[in-house]
Amino acid sequence: MRRLRGTLRVILTVAEMTWRMNVMDSFILFGLLIQPLIIATLALWILRERGGDYAIFVVVGSGMTGLWSSLLFVSGNSITEERWHSTLECLVGAPVDLGTIVFGKNLSSVLQSLASMVVAYLFAALLFGYALRINHPVAFLVSLLLTVLSFIAFGMVIAPIFVINPDVQRWQNALEFPVYILGGFLFPIALLPFWSNPLSYVLAPYWAARALHASSSGSGDLSEMLLCWSMMILVSIASLVLSRLLMVRVLHKARTDATLNMS
Distance of CA 38 to the CA centre of its chain: 19
Question: CA-to-CA distance for 228 and 233, rounded, in angstroms?
Answer: 9
Q: What is the mean pLDDT of residues 53-80?
A: 77
Q: Which residue has the higher pLDDT, 194 or 92?
A: 194
Q: Has residue 263 got a pLDDT over 60?
A: no
Quick one: pLDDT at residue 18?
82
Does residue 30 surpass a pLDDT of 70? yes
> If we measure between CA atoms, which residue out of 110, 108, 101, 142 comes closest to residue 243?
101
The pTM for the full model equals 0.84
Please check the confidence at residue 162 and state whether its pLDDT lies above 90: no
pLDDT of residue 227: 92
The angle that helices 222-257 and 204-217 make with each other, rounded to 10 degrees, is 150
The reported pLDDT for the residue numbered 49 is 64
Please determine, for residue 27, whether its predicted confidence score (pLDDT) is greater than 60: yes
Residue, of 83 and 246, whose pLDDT is higher: 246
pLDDT at 48: 62
Alpha carbons within 13 A on the beta-carbon side of 135: 15
